[in-house]
A and B are shown apart, each in its own frame.
Chain A
Amino acid sequence: MFKVSDLRFKYPGNKEDTIKGISFGFDKGEIFGFLGPSGMGKSTTQKLLTRILKNYGGEIIYRGKDLKSYDKSIFKDVGVGFEMPVLFTKLTAMENLKFYRDLYPKGAKIKPILERLGLWEDRNKRVAAFSKGMKSRLNFARALINDPEILFLDEPTSGLDPTNARIVKDMISGFRENGGTVFLTTHLMHDVDELCDRVAFIADGEIREISSPKNLKLRYGKREIRLEYREGERLEKAVFDMDTLKENENFFKLLRGKDLVTIHSGETTLDEIFIKVTGVKSDE
């Protein structure tokens, strides 16, 4: 559906390119994660794909044609969720959604979306009176307002409590199950793990890795057993590979001969993979 080759972008006035020649693609029906630490160019990439920023280098192909060759009617099928909620604060939730819906030839039904997001009761309140989480949810509703075929979401779960984050994530998977395509920008490894078919890691404007979450875990994941035991007055540690454990004599010797303090099994966590791939500590 999208094919990006050697994409480069520099903000006017900046010295260095923010996006330094990235290439990736994703297909219809896929949830493609775009993951990376803050300030690395995720939102910038989304803005390039949604034509908010122009004057890029390289090529973006959408449904087989250069993105630049489309006119504004391209947005009939595209839903965009911005990182910061963009809403008219003096209008009510309903007025906001109706305004945007009517700008499209076909619109979504507002009621089910708001009900699902728990905002139906508050539909006649002005957005200025909404909490941060409510604004985020309404912002997500706005992205769905034209019943799009492809969704761009920039940190859709940020600022949401776990219950509402769950609802939003379920709606994203539901959207895909109905044939939709999603480009999901996030810095949260867990969102990627739950939702994405494939994920690109971006750091410093470059793509470090593109893979499926499952492959990543296989590749970077180490299954191991960690023991702490007493050696006289001292506390000692030992680590064993889980997969070769049954042939490991040292392990059994320790078990029989020492006083154990703790015993843990561990897999490399998603956050550790994030740090390994990007070289930056996840902010979660």
Chain B
Amino acid sequence: MNKFLVLLKGDQSRMRRYGITYASLAASILWIIVIQLTNAAEIDRFFPLMLFVDATMMSFLLVGVAMMFEKQESALKSMLVTPISKHHYLMSKIVTGIISSIITLLLLGSYGVAFKSLSINYFGIIGAVALASFVYTCMGILFTYKSKDFTVLIMWLMLFFLLLAVPTILQMFQIITADWFKYVQYINPTQSVLTVMNATVMAVDKADLVISLGYLLLIAAILYYFAARNFDKYSMKELGGE
């Protein structure tokens, strides 16, 4: 079997064994309940918001938790003495995050379509979820490098949520309406994710969509670059001592 597929399969089976997959499924079920409670007329508008939380915050959390477990078991050390490269390792983590988000999408999407007459651009939303998950998994990796344990990681996640997600949600519900705020939000990748996702269910400003999409692709590349660059330093730090 291809080395990368072995890694990916290993990551998936460990996610299940460590209970991470089930936590993510539980979150999906919560969202399904929310969908059930949402007025059918509003579903198109709220659907991207639910996926957006999963593709951003959950991606960040999933990879962080998985890497923290690996750290506790010094699993990285044994990976370093196999023929797999850091790119294999990182990409396996990222693809695992994307798969998890897409599963959530499929669960929520099929429920929404079946019971709430959700109308959605399927390819668009799959692409948007994958891209968002890529970006936020990379962020998760970078912040896991910086976290010495679960507690620190969770603190980063909360800070993230406050700084990146809350403003976006406030703007979406038109609680903050100032014009300058809209411009500030262009540098917030979370806003870009929401814009791209919204585009799959409703009409959005073309320019907005292009800027957001371009921005996400750009930071995906930048974040991956730093995740790969700092990998050696991280592994040195983790593995120097027994």
- Give me the interface of A with B, judged by CB distance under 8 Å: 11-12, 43, 47, 50-54, 72-76, 78, 80, 82-84, 86-91, 95, 99-100, 102-105, 142, 146
Given A73-B83, A104-B83: A82 in contact with B78 (beta carbons within 8 A): yes
Q: Is the CB of B13 within 8 A of A95?
A: yes
CB distance from A104 to the nearest CB of B (A): 6
User: A43 CA to B78 CA in the complex, in Å?
Assistant: 15
Q: Is the CB of A103 within 8 A of B83?
A: yes
Chain B residues closer than 8 Å to A95, beta-carbon distance: 13
Given A72-B83, A75-B81, A89-B73: A43 in contact with B242 (beta carbons within 8 A): yes
User: A12 CA to B237 CA in the complex, in Å?
Assistant: 9
Q: Is the CB of A87 within 8 A of B83?
A: no
Given A73-B83, A90-B14, A95-B13: A54 in contact with B73 (beta carbons within 8 A): no
C-beta contact mask, B145-178 vs A, less than 8 Å → 1, else 0?
A: 0000000000000000000000000000000000
Q: Is the CB of B82 within 8 A of A100?
A: yes
Q: Is the CB of A54 within 8 A of B242?
A: no
User: A243 CA to B197 CA in the complex, in Å?
Assistant: 91
Chain A residues closer than 8 Å to B239, beta-carbon distance: 47, 52-53
Q: Which of A53, A90, A100 contacts B78 (CB 8 A)?
A: A100
Chain B residues closer than 8 Å to A12, beta-carbon distance: 236-237, 240
Chain B residues closer than 8 Å to A104, beta-carbon distance: 82-83
Stretch with Cβ within 8 A of A (4 or more), from B2-10, B111-119, B206-214? B2-10
User: A95 CA to B236 CA in the complex, in Å?
Assistant: 27
* Chain B interface main SS type: helix
Q: Which of B7, B13, B84, B236 contacts A53 (CB 8 A)?
A: B236
Q: Which of B17, B84, B240 contacts A72 (CB 8 A)?
A: B84
User: A95 CA to B10 CA in the complex, in Å?
Assistant: 9
Q: Is the CB of B7 within 8 A of A103?
A: yes
User: Cβ of B42 < 8 Å from any Cβ of A?
Assistant: no
Q: Which of A76, A80, A102, A146 contacts B1 (CB 8 A)?
A: A102
C-beta contact mask, B74-101 vs A, less than 8 Å → 1, else 0?
A: 1101101111110000000000000000
User: A100 CA to B75 CA in the complex, in Å?
Assistant: 11
Q: Is the CB of A53 within 8 A of B240?
A: yes
User: A183 CA to B109 CA in the complex, in Å?
Assistant: 56
Q: Is the CB of A75 within 8 A of B83?
A: yes
Given A54-B232, A88-B14, A91-B14: A103 in contact with B74 (beta carbons within 8 A): no
Q: Which of A53, A73, A78, A84 contacts B242 (CB 8 A)?
A: A84
CB distance from B18 to the nearest CB of A (A): 6
User: A12 CA to B235 CA in the complex, in Å?
Assistant: 13
Which of B18, B81, B236: most chain A CB closer than 10 A?
B81
CB distance from B77 to the nearest CB of A (A): 5
Chain A residue nearest to B10 (CB atoms) is: A99
CB distance from A271 to the nearest CB of B (A): 24
Q: Is the CB of B83 within 8 A of A52?
A: no
Given A82-B77, A87-B73, A102-B1: A72 in contact with B6 (beta carbons within 8 A): no
Chain B residue nearest to A146 (CB atoms) is: B82
- 7 smallest beta-carbon distances between A and B, as pairs: A102-B6, A80-B81, A90-B17, A86-B78, A103-B82, A86-B74, A75-B83
Q: Which of B73, B83, B84, B240 contacts A86 (CB 8 A)?
A: B73
Q: Which of B3, B13, B17 contacts A103 (CB 8 A)?
A: B3
Which of A12, A75, A87, A88: most chain B CB closer than 10 A?
A88
User: A43 CA to B77 CA in the complex, in Å?
Assistant: 13
19 contacts between A and B (CB under 8 A): A11-B240, A12-B236, A52-B80, A52-B81, A53-B239, A53-B240, A73-B83, A75-B83, A82-B77, A83-B242, A84-B242, A88-B14, A88-B73, A95-B13, A100-B78, A102-B1, A103-B3, A105-B83, A146-B82
Would you list which residues of chain B between 203 and 242 have a CB under 8 Å from chain A? Answer: 232, 235-237, 239-240, 242
Q: Is the CB of B17 within 8 A of A91?
A: yes
Chain B residues closer than 8 Å to A74, beta-carbon distance: 83
CB distance from B1 to the nearest CB of A (A): 6
User: A12 CA to B74 CA in the complex, in Å?
Assistant: 19
User: A95 CA to B75 CA in the complex, in Å?
Assistant: 14
User: A108 CA to B83 CA in the complex, in Å?
Assistant: 15
Chain B residues closer than 8 Å to A103, beta-carbon distance: 3, 6-7, 82-84
Chain B residue nearest to A78 (CB atoms) is: B81
Q: Is the CB of B18 within 8 A of A90?
A: yes
Q: Is the CB of B242 within 8 A of A52?
A: no
